[in-house]
Amino acid sequence: MAALPSDPLHASASACAVPNTALPERLIAHLDMDAFYASVELLRYPELKGQAVVIGGRRMHEPVTLPDGTRRYARLRDYTGRGVITTSTYAARDLGVFSGMGMMKAALRAPDAILLPTDFEAYRHYSRLFKAAVAELAPVIEDRGIDEIYIDLSEVPGIREPVGHDPLGGVRAVAREIKNSVWRATGLSCSIGITPNKLLSKIASDLDKPDGITVLLEADIPSRIWPLHVRKVNGIGPKAAAKLQTLGIETVAQLAAAEPALLVAQFGKSFGAWLHEAAHGRDKRPVVTHSEPVSISRETTFERDLHAVHDRAELSHIFTRLCEQLASDLTRKGYQGRTIGLKLRFEGFHTVTRDLTLDQPTQDAQAIRRAAGACLKRVSLEKRIRLLGVRVGGLSRPGSPEAEPKRRRANRGDSAKPQPSGTSPQNLALF
């Protein structure tokens, strides 16, 4: 295991330290793993540390071990297709290559960047490891995805005790202890933002990446938050940011200075009021320790548009694999579902969904495939297919009251608009 990150906090609170009553009642942390997927890959290929590496390739981009024991890596310039980058190392980001960017576009910016395939089984493994390590120190955790969590630190022992002359020393010491535990469990670094609420902590965790600790209180908002672009606020997307720009609002400070009535008039009562509150760093949302998923899905975007007849075998194989993966997800997570959904995206990005509600919930791959196949027969497949997805909703736990059979059938959304059976003979070719 590599050495722990350096710890600047060698002092500890004395036994008679008085809790710091100046701290807010709530202390919420947002922990974000640093370039998570890429960092996991660097554990496997440590010789790539410090290099521009892009994650998002296919199996054909696996490194090749040469007779002398060295490895030959695929380069981004050799990629063909329309895949997108899952993540990239910080060295690649310095070259303008970021997650969500198309591979071909990224190749123009960093043609010599090393390309690696994704390995989600490995990422899920390390995700479980880092979350378990945090839970041993601070058990009140809200899981926000594979590489990030919120942590309620309000009642963690030592959090309110000053260290030496630093009133926030206890906060920083707890954060450092969490980071060290994550490092020991995974060999990976993370960044932590600690503030009075989730909104500010999400912003703070990104301010001193990588391997950073950022502690902000209400008094720090004008100096640390207001100079930022509005897009740094989680919940303000590109469309809202573009509209704010037309109003002459680009920074959080400008948003905070805007009249609430103007924001409500432009964005509606709910979102307009939220914009005003968010700009002033106000957020009362609790850390939610558990929530039940609404649905579980699997989907894939093809490297090329596939034809329902000419690519029948390939589509059939992909469809079966998606249903098997989805069934495995349901079994592993302990769910079954009653509503089976199909998602198709065609050339031109036209998307169609079809749902079918079964009499009894299932987690069986064949049953899911049959139901999704029935949905497909109500779709015209005259255009080539870009994306195929399968979803299971109406989730319940086996043996729960919700899992009892219900003698009814219901269609939702586009499902209520079946296509005439004779309009698309291609759909029969796929199944």
What letter does residue 394 receive in the DSSP assignment?
E
Strands 53-57 and 114-117: parallel
Catalytic hit among 47, 148, 314, 404: 148
Residue 337: phi and psi, rounded to 5, are -140, 155
Q: Alpha-carbon distance 38 to 114, whole Å?
A: 11
- And the tokens for 272? 């307009």
Q: How far is CA 79 from CA 86, 94, 305, 428, in A?
A: 14, 20, 17, 34
Q: How far is CA 324 from CA 245, 327, 373, in A?
A: 46, 5, 14
Residue appearing with tokens 């043996």: 399
Can you give 33-99 as a three-state secondary structure string? ECCHHHHHHHHHCHHHCCCCEEEEECHHHCCEECCCCCEECEEHHHCCCCCECCEECHHHHCCCCCC
Contact 260, 272 (CB under 8 A): yes
Contact 110, 96 (CB under 8 A): yes
b/e per residue, 7-30, with b = 16+ CB within 10 A? eebeeebeeebeebeebeebbbbb
- Let me know if 148 is a catalytic residue: yes
What letter does residue 223 receive in the DSSP assignment?
I
Cβ neighbours of residue 392 under 8 Å, at least 6 residues apart? 295, 296, 297, 326, 330, 335, 336, 337, 339, 340, 341, 363, 368
Question: How many CB atoms neighbour CB 147 within 10 A?
Answer: 22
| Max CA pair span of the chain | 82
How large is the C-alpha radius of gyration of the chain? 25
What amino acid positions are annotated as catalytic residues? 148
